[in-house]
Structure 1
């Protein structure tokens, strides 16, 4: 078994990945900006490291066989954080860096997507062994966005936009396999099993939560939303996910309901 470090180990994907790696018998190190009490488990070491300044990073990467880089911030700093991680991995001679990216980062000129693409290129040029997996949006993210929009009685819905949500646990499963293997470069994208219009996803989510809102179609301007309308965020040829968004909502309802405030 290997020793694998997960950055962003307390995030939505990071938690699922840590669980999968532990279940596979690996020794796991979890990196997070702040220490979290109650996260210690057999086989798991938690490191409080902020990639924005790198304090404590050298110790965290020392002796690991692979790093899975899940940490990300839509507010900025991802490229710099990746650079610090790469430097620390070089110094520690860590042979494999696995990165989770997003389907369409090379087709949709959205600011966050451009940053993810820049990180991909930084990793490709790092001299390290590397693997990059691009996935579509998580079920959890769709739910989070709809819940935020449902705070208003009128819900603006991007017209012409489609989404292919995927189960975060299935992405974690794939990352665990990749981390335990040899560097593979850019691997096949992972998309959810179904493609839905944004309106259909909003309607499904509201119905599952017992809510009603007035939906207002909104054709958003700019090149990013034009690319979304062209399907730049989709990978229909790689619809390999199994769990549908409707199944995700049903299981959440059984465990507390999609309107319970959880992500």
Structure 2
């Protein structure tokens, strides 16, 4: 059994990864700003060396669209080097970070590069968007009189539980480098998924496909965020929406 540190271990994905690793018998250190045992803010790195002591594997789930991911990665890499025991740093990334010019995606790609150039053993998994993200987008849009969703944008949503399963499998001392991408079982447009979700949650609202502009939107319309040849997920968005509706 290994000593494993999970960053963002109280979050949506990190908490599931933590639970799976503990069931497998590993010693897991949950690292986040709100964690009871290891309250570490990766943006300044305080307390990180103590949390990293003796760790063999790091699963890096902490991330923020508001920025700071690259600084956090540098602190994490530095602490892993100083610890001298880390054999594998597992990172969760996003399909399309190298082809869709969205600011958050660019930051995730730069973190990938930092890890690959760190000299540490690294495993990188890219996945498509989680079901929860699609639902959050629809819930936000549904606050308006009609529900505007980007037209022409297809997504391939995947269950966060399945991603947690895969990360737990990869959290071993032997690094795997860039592993095959992981996508959901189906591809659909955002407006169609919005209608599915609204119907399942019993909201009779009109979805309006909304054309947008910009290079990032064009990247999504080209399907840069999709992994059709890696549709390994099993749970569909309709199944997720039905559970939310209950």
Q: Structure 2-normalised TM-score?
A: 0.97
Deviation sequence 1:112-161 (CA, Å, 0-9, x none): 00000000000000000000000000011111111111111121111100
Distance in 2 separating the partners of 1:193 and 1:35: 34
Distance in 2 separating the partners of 1:200 and 1:109: 24
Matched position secondary structure for 1:180? coil
Distance in 2 separating the partners of 1:34 and 1:173: 24
Aligned position for 2:9: 9
Which of 86, 92, 104 is matched with 2:83 structurally? 92
Query: How much has 1:214 moved relative to structure 2?
Result: 2.5
Matched position secondary structure for 2:129? coil
Distance in 2 separating the partners of 1:103 and 1:91: 31
Distance in 2 separating the partners of 1:175 and 1:86: 19
Compute the RMSD of aligned alpha carbons: 1.0
Q: Structure 1-normalised TM-score?
A: 0.91
Distance in 2 separating the partners of 1:111 and 1:13: 22
1:142 aligns with 2:134: yes
Aligned position for 1:220: 212
Query: How much has 1:23 moved relative to structure 2?
Result: 1.2
Aligned position for 2:201: 209
Q: 84-93 or 138-147: which moved more? A: 138-147
Give 5+ residue unaligned stretches, structure 2: none
Distance in 1 separating the partners of 2:191 and 2:162: 25
Deviation sequence 1:64-102 (CA, Å, 0-9, x none): 110000000111110011000000000001111000000
Query: How much has 1:34 moved relative to structure 2?
Result: 2.0
Task: Within 5 Å, give how 1:1-263 maps onto structure 2.
Answer: 1-35=1-35, 46-93=37-84, 94-254=86-246
Query: How much has 1:218 moved relative to structure 2?
Result: 1.3
Distance in 2 separating the partners of 1:209 and 1:215: 14
Q: 71-80 or 150-159: which moved more? A: 150-159
Give 5+ residue unaligned stretches, structure 1: 37-45, 255-263
Distance in 2 separating the partners of 1:136 and 1:115: 16
Query: How much has 1:252 moved relative to structure 2?
Result: 3.0
Matched position secondary structure for 2:137? helix
Sort the Cα spacing of 1:159 and 1:97 in 2 relative to 1 into closer, same or farther, 3 A.
Answer: same
Aligned residues of 2:150 and 2:212 also touching (Cα < 8 A): yes
Query: How much has 1:181 moved relative to structure 2?
Result: 4.8
Deviation sequence 1:202-251 (CA, Å, 0-9, x none): 00110011112222221110111111001000000000001111111222
The runs of at least 4 aligned residues of structure 1 exceeding 4 Å deviation read none
Query: How much has 1:60 moved relative to structure 2?
Result: 0.5
